[in-house]
Amino acid sequence: MVCALALNRRGIPVTVFEQEPAPVKDQRAASIHPPTLELLDAIGITETIIPLGLVSTAYRFHDRVTQSVVAEFDLDRMRDEFKFPFVLQYEQYKLTASIAAEYANVADFDVRFSHCVTGIASRDDGVDVEVASPSGIEKLNAAYVIGCDGGHSTVRRLAGIKFEGFTYPEKFIKIATTFDFGTVNPDLVYRNYFSDPDQWCNLFKVRGERPGGLWRAIFPLRSDEDDAVALSADRIEERLQKFFPKTGRYAIEYVNVYGVSQRVAKTFRRGRILLAGDAAHVNNPIGGMGMNGGIHDAINLADKLSAVIKGEADADLLDRYDRQRRHAAVTYIQAQTIANKHLMEESDPAVRAANFDALRRTADDPEAARRYMRRAALLDSLQTANAVA
């Protein structure tokens, strides 16, 4: 939706095919970093979404074993560098719904639900697209096709593009509860990372759908843990009570188990077929980089593709999109999220202590802390990628 809106803002007619019958409230990413907010501001949607989310200026690393705060990083110190010196906790499904509600379904920005792409064939002057819809099979022609259709991308598969990388042996479980952890733990902020040699946890707050909001907890499953067992009410309760003991059972809003991979497409461009977001790269969720990297893809691609379609640039400019955004995915997003996971799950006491000492020194040194926040917010990624020729 961001890619479609960015193209439409540049005067390019866009049709979006979505196989679901309506916007899905899938509980995916929720953290929008400062540079991403600036990109979204340029296409005119931050005024709409900021009042609807939670503004989070700080994030903290915790040692679950000692129940202590290891380090805090405060984005408010970056006011001279970030137009929006905070992370906006605003769920991905709300972002897409906001764009659809305010901008889509006009003559040149058409969103078609219950439409599933089943075939694509490139020609020199366009792409033939086959779509399954409620009325049957439709055949259309487009100047370009952009696959923003997730980690299991149909467009990537039909284009014959390899998805290189690996899948973690363990799955992750996401549990959302209406219980307000902030009332019992004064050390919590809206974004928290708990390191633990047995079972780490990411804990974040989002608005959800009702007053009071929701806390989302993400844990790793054991590699031999059965999905059905992990999703049982008793096991969910046991997992939360072990990590955050309290009187009485937790009120659970939703829970899901999912596999996690670190993969990058061999190329983000094959002729007139392009990839962006999870269709181009997937990673573990520690650090909230997947959605942000996808939005960076979308804006970068919209800038270049609109220039090509308008005849202002040669089509070779799209190869630069591939070089820039693939560089960002491999060098920054993959490397940082893998490092984040290692930090959270480290089991060797000496290595854990050394990691914590390094984090403390970084947080206590103003310039080192700024460098850390630039990288964690994907500003370094954005700037370095944009410099790739």
Query: 238, 257, 276 — which closes off a domain?
Result: 257
Cβ pair 288, 87 in contact under 8 A:
yes
301-352 residue pLDDT tens: 999 999 999 999 999 999 999 999 999 999 989 988 999 999 999 999 999 9
Q: What is the CA radius of gyration of the chain?
A: 21
Query: 230, 257, 284 — which closes off a domain?
Result: 257
Same domain? 24 vs 111: yes
Same domain? 43 vs 118: yes
Q: How many residues does the chain have?
A: 389
In 3D space, the residue among 217, 214, 236, 211 whose CA is nearest the CA of residue 225 turns out to be: 236
Same domain? 276 vs 234: no
Query: In the predicted model, is pLDDT for residue 167 greater than 80?
Result: yes
Number of C-alpha atoms within 13 angstroms, CB side, residue 303?
Answer: 13
Residues forming a β-bridge with 140: 129
User: Which DSSP string do the residues of 319-337 spell out, in sequence order?
Assistant: HHHHHHHHHIIIIIIIHHH
Same domain? 162 vs 265: yes
Three-class SS state of 40: helix
Q: Specify the range with the lowest mean pLDDT, choosing from 98-112, 182-196, 254-268.
A: 98-112
Question: How far apart (Å, rounded) are the C-alpha atoms in residues 226 and 236?
Answer: 13
Query: In the predicted model, is pLDDT for residue 112 greater than 90?
Result: yes
Question: How far apart (Å, rounded) are the C-alpha atoms in residues 271 and 101?
Answer: 32
Q: Sheet containing 145-147: give its strands across.
A: 145-147, 273-275, 269-270
87-110 residue pLDDT tens: 999 999 999 888 988 888 788 999
In a domain, 126, yes or no: yes
Same domain? 13 vs 117: yes
Same domain? 37 vs 177: no
Return the sign of the alpha-carbon dihedral for residues 316, 382, 275, 305.
negative
In a domain, 79, yes or no: no
How far is CA 330 from each of CA 163, 280, 336, 384, rounded to the nearest angstrom?
A: 12, 11, 9, 12
How far is CA 36 from each of CA 46, 202, 280, 299, rounded to the nearest angstrom?
A: 10, 21, 18, 10
Same domain? 225 vs 286: no
In a domain, 360, yes or no: no
- What one-letter code names the amino acid at 208? G
User: Crossing angle for the helix pair 317-327 and 379-386, nearest 10 degrees?
Assistant: 150
How far is CA 287 from each of CA 166, 234, 387, rounded to the nearest angstrom?
A: 19, 29, 24
Q: Mean pLDDT for the chain? A: 94
In a domain, 312, yes or no: yes
Cβ pair 38, 380 in contact under 8 A:
no
In a domain, 253, yes or no: yes
Q: What is the arithmetic mean of pLDDT over 134-152? A: 96
Query: 257, 273, 298 — which closes off a domain?
Result: 257
Question: How far apart (Å, rounded) are the C-alpha atoms in residues 219 and 356?
Answer: 20
Confidence of residue 23 (pLDDT cuts 50, 70, 90): confident
The model's pTM is: 0.95
In 3D space, the residue among 319, 5, 342 whose CA is nearest the CA of residue 195 turns out to be: 342
Q: Write out the residue range of the structural domain in which residue 102 sits.
A: 2-57+86-166+261-344+379-386
Q: What is the structure's pLDDT at 200?
A: 94
Structure tokens at 207: 């608005």
What CATH number has the domain bearing residue 137?
Answer: 3.50.50.60
Same domain? 249 vs 267: no
Same domain? 162 vs 243: no
Instruction: Provide φ and ψ at 67, rounded to 5°.
Output: 60, 40
User: What b/e string do you get for 190-219 counting C-beta neighbours within 10 Å, with b at 16 or more?
Assistant: bbbbbbbeebbbbbbbbbbeeeebbbbbbb
Same domain? 141 vs 44: yes
Same domain? 178 vs 159: no
In a domain, 196, yes or no: no
Same domain? 30 vs 101: yes
In a domain, 32, yes or no: yes
Into how many domains does the chain fold?
A: 2
In 3D space, the residue among 227, 343, 196 whose CA is nearest the CA of residue 284 turns out to be: 343
32-54 residue pLDDT tens: 999 999 999 999 999 999 999 99
Query: Tokens 């659809």 label which residue?
Result: 100
In a domain, 66, yes or no: no
